[in-house]
Amino acid sequence: MAEDKYKEARIGVFLCHCGTNIAGTIDIDAVREYAKTIPNVVVVDNYAYMCSTPGQNKIADAIKEQNLTGIVVAACTPRLHEPTFRNATAAGGLNPFRFEMANIRDQNSWVHMHQPEEATEKAKDAVRIAVAKASLLEDLIPKSVPVEKTAMVVGGGVGGMQAALDLADAGIKTYLVEKSPTIGGRMSQLDKTFPTLDCSQCILTPKMVDVYRNKNIELLTYTEVEAVEGYIGNFDVTLRKKARGVLTPAEAEARGIVGGGCTGCGDCAEVCPVIKPNPFELGMAPRKAIYIYHPQVSPLIYTVDFDSCVKCGLCVESCGDKKAIDLDAKDELITVKVGTAILALGYDIYPIEKKFEWGYKNYDNVITSLEFERLICASGPTGGHLIRPSDGETPKRIAFVLCAGSRDNTDTGKPYCSRFCCMYSLKHAHQIIEKIPGAVPYIFYMDIRSFGKMYEEFYYRIQNEGAKFIRGRVANITEDPVTKNLHVNAEDTLLGRPIDMEVDMVVLAAAIQPSAETEKTRRLFGVSCSQDGWLLEAHPKLNPCGTTTAGVYLAGVCQGPKDIPDTVAQAEGAASAASIPIHKGEVELEPYFAVCLEDKCAGCGMCVYQCPYSALSLVEKDGRTVMHVTEAKCKGCGTCGGFCPGGAIWMQHFASPQIVAQIDAFLLGGEQ
């Protein structure tokens, strides 16, 4: 099907300067003159910014004037501007898939900045190769598939909650999947929030209630994602509803227990004989084997920890007629269909005991900032009285260690800035000044990063309130074995003098890291991560909520450290992005799927096993067995196309003749 097209090919070549990004290194005039000599090329033009409106108009106009059959733009990357130039190609009246891009910026001028001559030669090669492919391109029609009008949000922290609320308010049925027994995430563990100092629970609890009440949100707590199949518009997600051992009123009713189910009265926990540390209080307070994390949980349904439950049955008795407790409960698998999904998996605290020089878990009075939040919080284990774990005394001199494990390039640290510890440590300084008369916070810092709106002003305020700032990273901490006071050793780099500061308590602003199950969950959704484990956005500037998997979006800290305002902003962005395909009702799939050339297919079926996406099958057609492609499942990876011994599989847009032409163009240097 290729040869005759090749004869009539009429190609236009457009060279972009990208300001000086390309033209500063590559001799555009030389490439232009060269391009005119390439077979099939009928127009060559160049422009400062091909992506601009005048640049795009050049393409559309040339197609109409010169009756072109294919377009080559030599510029940046397809990832950045393929859609732009496809649109320009379509505007000129050509099928948009008759466009081919030559990357002469990222893969050329940027890397060969100091070798302009070689770079120019390489650009000529790139243009010639692109022309060879463009000469063989065909009209392709993207497939549209309908989009399931439901969405899923995984992770019920403030990010996930906001995303679910936005989707639900936009009229989209949304499953909110949370692995723990309640939504709220880290924010529900915080006392106050910078820079406004409003009470975290007071602003979060109403949102938690909204989520619970919203008719469009199906809240699935104590639930994990087990498997994901499908593609944008049609994901089949299998969920594991972990055995909770307690029925909601609705579940009770479904079992015919009228007026039953958990009311959150707590009679069960009262009688439960098993005592365990409460992870919500970071182990600083007890809970029973049947428990809620804290009084504001949503949903207000108790949970049995079957790992520690002794099945004494006392709770069942005390629950009485409500019959809410089922000690024989089993995990349940359910499958739901969704069009798009948002991951909002949050973060964990880095195990800062790995920095043994600071003595966390070794010295009683060295705590983490998250523990500080619980201790200073009125609803926390001490009723908001900050005390020394060693003796219950109120600390007066408190050292805050910033960048504890962050900005650290050793194998016991994280190279990135955790981004909110400067600000929350300022908040902590304020809280002790406010609560403890005569208390002095000593903040050991390298830089104070107060970049947000009203953040620098907050820094000013805390300094004015009397916090002492010492510019130096803490070298080590030692403990006085008798008083359990701590000696903080550092250099005051501004004085140029070593410090040995005796304090009553040390608070480590520990680094954060992706939450425990992020790795597993991201793999299920086919989302990449960067080197440090945070989930990878589609583009750091222009597509910060999307991922490279169509239909899957990111919100909150799982994409990288960010505070609550940034988390909520990204969540709203992700919700908006995730609602677009749903509102459109259908999505176009890139037509890069395999096509069976049935006259060549021997029906051997070998390819069926090769396909990693189970897109192929054998069918009977006109009395013969031939291979059949389920186009919506095919990702165009090319495994089958490269494999088929009979050459019976045509990979649209990456067909063998097209690729061979590119190789020839490269190896033969333009000679035919």
Ligand X SMILES: Cc1cc2nc3c(=O)[nH]c(=O)nc-3n(C[C@H](O)[C@H](O)[C@H](O)COP(=O)(O)OP(=O)(O)OC[C@H]3O[C@@H](n4cnc5c(N)ncnc54)[C@H](O)[C@@H]3O)c2cc1C
* Least CB distance to ligand SF4 at residue 448 (A): 7
Site for ligand X in 168-187 (CB under 6 A): 177-180, 185-187
* Least CB distance to ligand SF4 at residue 553 (A): 26
Q: How far is CA 67 from CA 27, 60, 84, 141, 220, in A?
A: 28, 10, 20, 21, 58
With CB cut-offs between 5 and 8 Å by kind, which of ligand X, ligand SF4, other proteins, none does residue 557 bind?
Answer: ligand X
* Least CB distance to ligand X at residue 399 (A): 16
- For residues 411 to 440, the per-residue mask of contacts with other proteins, x marking binding by CB under 8 A and - elsewhere, is --x---------------------------
As a whole number of angstroms, the distance between CA 468 and CA 218 comes to: 48
* Residue 447 binding ligand SF4, by CB under 6 A: yes
* Least CB distance to ligand X at residue 235 (A): 15
Nearer Cβ to ligand X (222/593): 222
What's the gap between Cα 312 and its chain centre? 43
* Least CB distance to ligand SF4 at residue 414 (A): 9
* Residue 359 binding other proteins, by CB under 8 A: no
With CB cut-offs between 5 and 8 Å by kind, which of other proteins, ligand X, ligand SF4, none does residue 417 bind?
Answer: ligand SF4
For other proteins, the binding residue among 79, 337, 473, 635 (CB under 8 A) is 473
As a whole number of angstroms, the distance between CA 267 and CA 521 comes to: 36
With CB cut-offs between 5 and 8 Å by kind, which of other proteins, ligand X, ligand SF4, none does residue 224 bind?
Answer: ligand X
As a whole number of angstroms, the distance between CA 376 and CA 570 comes to: 29
Start-to-end C-alpha separation, the chain: 19
DSSP symbol at 127: H
* Least CB distance to ligand X at residue 341 (A): 12
As a whole number of angstroms, the distance between CA 472 and CA 445 comes to: 6
* Residue 428 binding ligand SF4, by CB under 6 A: no
Nearest to residue 70, comparing CAs of 106, 38, 48? 38
With CB cut-offs between 5 and 8 Å by kind, which of ligand X, other proteins, ligand SF4, none does residue 492 bind?
Answer: other proteins
With CB cut-offs between 5 and 8 Å by kind, which of ligand X, other proteins, ligand SF4, none does residue 641 bind?
Answer: none
Site for other proteins in 62-91 (CB under 8 A): none
As a whole number of angstroms, the distance between CA 554 and CA 526 comes to: 13
Helix (H) or strand (E) holding 400: strand 397-404
* Least CB distance to ligand SF4 at residue 418 (A): 4
As a whole number of angstroms, the distance between CA 548 and CA 225 comes to: 20
Nearest to residue 637, comparing CAs of 616, 619, 658? 616
Cβ atoms 255, 328 nearer than 8 A = no
With CB cut-offs between 5 and 8 Å by kind, which of ligand SF4, other proteins, ligand X, none does residue 468 bind?
Answer: none
* Least CB distance to ligand X at residue 345 (A): 4
As a whole number of angstroms, the distance between CA 426 and CA 644 comes to: 64
* Residue 509 binding ligand SF4, by CB under 6 A: yes
As a whole number of angstroms, the distance between CA 642 and CA 611 comes to: 11
Tokens linked to 512: 């954060």
For ligand SF4, the binding residue among 98, 241, 419, 428 (CB under 6 A) is 419
As a whole number of angstroms, the distance between CA 21 and CA 39 comes to: 28
* Residue 10 binding other proteins, by CB under 8 A: no
Axis-axis angle for helices 455-465, 421-435 (nearest 10) = 30
Each as own residue / partner, the long-range contacts of residues 373-377 (CB below 8 Å, 24 or more positions apart, any chain) are 373/189, 373/190, 373/191, 373/424, 374/189, 374/191, 374/281, 374/282, 374/284, 375/284, 376/191, 376/428, 376/431, 376/432, 376/435, 377/190, 377/191
For ligand X, the binding residue among 167, 176, 190, 490 (CB under 6 A) is 190
* Residue 510 binding ligand SF4, by CB under 6 A: no
If binding means CB under 6 A, how many residues of this protein chain bind ligand SF4? 12
Strands 99-103 and 70-75: parallel
With CB cut-offs between 5 and 8 Å by kind, which of ligand SF4, other proteins, ligand X, none does residue 193 bind?
Answer: ligand X
As a whole number of angstroms, the distance between CA 184 and CA 528 comes to: 26
Site for ligand X in 475-534 (CB under 6 A): 515, 517, 521
* Residue 475 binding other proteins, by CB under 8 A: yes
* Residue 357 binding other proteins, by CB under 8 A: yes
* Residue 269 binding ligand SF4, by CB under 6 A: no
- For residues 110 to 149, the per-residue mask of contacts with ligand X, x marking binding by CB under 6 A and - elsewhere, is ----------------------------------------
Q: Which amino acid is at 411?
A: D
* Residue 418 binding ligand SF4, by CB under 6 A: yes
- For residues 548 to 567, the per-residue mask of contacts with ligand X, x marking binding by CB under 6 A and - elsewhere, is --------xx----xxxx-x
With CB cut-offs between 5 and 8 Å by kind, which of ligand SF4, other proteins, ligand X, none does residue 158 bind?
Answer: ligand X
**Span near ligand SF4 by CB under 6 A; candidates 195-203, 391-399, 419-427, 565-573:** 419-427
**What residues contact residue 601 under an 8 Å CB cut-off, 6+ apart?**
626, 627, 646, 648
* Residue 403 binding ligand SF4, by CB under 6 A: yes
Cβ atoms 498, 489 nearer than 8 A = yes
Cβ atoms 245, 306 nearer than 8 A = yes
**Span near ligand SF4 by CB under 6 A; candidates 285-293, 299-307, 411-419, 576-584:** 411-419
Which residues are near ligand SF4 by CB under 6 A? 402-403, 406-407, 417-419, 421-422, 447, 449, 509
